[in-house]
């Protein structure tokens, strides 16, 4: 039975929480002051702490709770802490989460949402505290994500072991996960693996690329619309959140969500409630949200370009994927996987890479990461004239050295593709910076990247 430590100075609040949590299978211990919290932790271990931010009747600053939060982080850094207050504000909640709180609720709370938060952090804390490294489970992560593709996640390198560990621990929970890393590192593969490990795996994961959506269609894509909501709305449309009800929604390039829609996204993540465009009927869904970005979302939030409270809702756990150049031990295994897949697809009798071809691939910097490796192997499969892939089939010498064609010898599309590739390499795969340098919006750059298969 999961144990919750409740800290609040109002008996009525404590009693209401005790009855609510008992009915949902929680064991509770309630205290009325920060000092009592410290004493309770010395006597017993807990799976999650639910603490008020104010304990003095004439104080609404939340400072007592913030100080208590700091002490809790010192006493037990692994204990998830959820803060609550009747004097809530976005600024106070953000400060609490910056100091280590995992989530926050405002009084009066929504019972369903509070229970979901506590269950999520309880499951996650218990998984993380087991601390066991089970090679069989890691093997499962690498070889089967439940969708018939083997291997799904190839990760033998030392740099990827912390990633595998986090995936194994977090996957079975309902925790929201933010997946970060350069373009092409395999963020969607990680999302699909997390989904495959969850209790939601029986339903398909729903994915949407926020970077590829025009701002005018974004709201309709996520939340749907009703007939007549705007000129071209001829019929009702179901949005991605409804399609993902009971399952997982993967929001790729989350940094591209328009500012005016971020509050609506925050609301549905917090409460599960939303309205279709043009409708006043509130709908409710149960969705786990996985998101991904190559941008520094923390910096985006600090600068005001992305809501801080939405940022904290999305990254209950953050998984960062290293670029392929930092995991060279995985290049051969990844290349061989892509070789088998594309050889089967194109019905070509290829069985291996020449050793010199593998050396060429290991020496290359892979600015496009795993996606670029996949594309290079696919092209090599099409060009290979024997049963082994040779260095020349890869076409990497020209890509890594001189010998580039002059601009006047290239078509307009070839020039545009080359400039995009150079901009992405210049900024280490950061799409925001590359788009700014090219004079494009992020969404416009993403459309061109898809067009040219970059």
Q: Identify the pLDDT of residue 218.
A: 84
Mean pLDDT within 380-409: 72
Mean pLDDT within 215-239: 82
What is the rounded distance in angstroms from the CA atom of residue 286 to the CA atom of residue 5? 26
Higher pLDDT, 298 or 413: 298
Which tokens go with 424?
A: 């992405």
pLDDT tens for 253-264 read: 999 898 889 999
Please answer whether residues 138 and 168 qualify as being in contact, where contact means their C-beta atoms are separated by less than 8 angstroms.
yes
Q: Identify the pLDDT of residue 409.
A: 58
Mean pLDDT within 275-288: 93
Higher pLDDT, 281 or 101: 281
User: Where is mean pLDDT largest: 3-7, 73-77, 229-233, 346-350?
Assistant: 3-7
In this structure, of 186-190, 219-223, 376-380, 400-404, the range with the lowest mean pLDDT score is 400-404
Higher pLDDT, 216 or 406: 216
Q: Is the pLDDT of residue 444 over 60?
A: yes
To the nearest whole percent, how much of the chain has pLDDT over 90? 38
Domains detected in the chain = 3-130 (3.40.50.2300), 135-320 (3.40.50.300), 324-400 (1.10.8.60), 407-451 (1.10.10.60)
Q: Identify the pLDDT of residue 449.
A: 82
Phi, psi of 243 (to 5 degrees): -65, -30
Residue 184, preceding peptide bond in cis (omega within 30° of 0): no
Which tokens go with 217?
A: 């269609």
In this structure, of 111-115, 223-227, 393-397, the range with the lowest mean pLDDT score is 393-397
Q: Is the pLDDT of residue 145 over 90?
A: no
Q: Identify the pLDDT of residue 144.
A: 44
Q: Is the pLDDT of residue 411 over 80?
A: no
Mean pLDDT within 280-286: 93
Q: Is the pLDDT of residue 450 over 90?
A: no
DSSP for 200-260 reads TTTSPPEEEEGGGS-HHHHHHHHH-B-TTSSTT--S-B--HHHHTTTSEEEEETGGGS-GG
């Amino acid at each position: 039975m999961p144990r919750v430590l409740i800290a609040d100075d109002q008996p009525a609040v404590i009693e209401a929480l005790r009855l609510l949590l008992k009915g949902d299978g929680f064991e509770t211990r309630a205290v009325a002051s920060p000092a009592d919290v410290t004493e309770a932790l010395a006597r017993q271990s807990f799976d999650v702490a639910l603490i008020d931010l104010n304990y003095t009747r004439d104080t609404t600053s939340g400072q007592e709770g913030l100080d208590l939060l700091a002490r809790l982080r010192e006493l037990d850094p692994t204990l998830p802490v959820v803060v609550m207050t009747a004097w809530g504000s976005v600024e106070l909640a953000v400060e609490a989460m910056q100091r280590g709180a995992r989530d926050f609720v405002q009084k009066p709370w929504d019972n369903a949402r509070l229970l979901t938060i506590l269950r999520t952090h309880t499951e996650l804390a218990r998984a993380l505290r087991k601390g066991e490294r089970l090679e069989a489970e890691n093997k499962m992560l690498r070889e089967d994500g439940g969708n018939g593709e083997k291997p799904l996640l190839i990760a033998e390198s030392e740099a990827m072991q912390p990633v595998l560990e986090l995936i194994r621990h977090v996957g079975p929970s309902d925790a929201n996960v933010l997946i970060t890393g350069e373009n092409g590192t395999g963020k969607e593969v990680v999302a699909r693996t997390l989904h495959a490990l969850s209790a939601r795996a029986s339903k398909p994961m729903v994915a949407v690329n926020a970077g590829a959506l025009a701002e005018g269609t974004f709201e309709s894509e996520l939340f749907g619309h009703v007939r007549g909501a705007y000129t071209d709305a001829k019929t009702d449309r179901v949005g991605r959140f409804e399609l993902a009800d009971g399952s997982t929604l993967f929001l790729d390039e989350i940094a591209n969500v328009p500012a005016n829609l971020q509050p609506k996204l925050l609301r549905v993540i917090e409460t599960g409630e939303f309205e279709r465009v043009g409708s006043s009927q509130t709908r409710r869904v149960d969705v786990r949200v996985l998101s991904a970005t190559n941008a520094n979302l923390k910096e985006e939030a600090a600068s005001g370009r992305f809501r801080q409270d939405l940022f904290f809702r999305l990254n209950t756990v953050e998984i960062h994927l290293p670029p392929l150049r930092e995991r060279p031990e995985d290049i051969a295994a990844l290349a061989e996987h892509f070789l088998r897949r594309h050889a089967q697809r194109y019905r070509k009798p290829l069985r291996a890479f020449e050793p010199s071809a593998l050396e060429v691939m290991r020496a290359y910097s892979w600015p496009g990461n795993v996606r670029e490796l996949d594309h290079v192997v696919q092209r090599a499969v099409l060009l290979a004239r024997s049963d082994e892939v040779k260095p020349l089939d890869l076409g990497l010498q020209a890509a890594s050295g001189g010998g580039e064609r002059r601009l006047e010898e290239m078509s307009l599309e070839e020039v545009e593709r080359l400039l995009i590739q150079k901009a992405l390499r210049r900024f280490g795969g950061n799409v925001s910076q590359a788009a700014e340098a090219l004079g494009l919006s992020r969404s416009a750059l993403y459309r061109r990247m898809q067009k040219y298969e970059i």
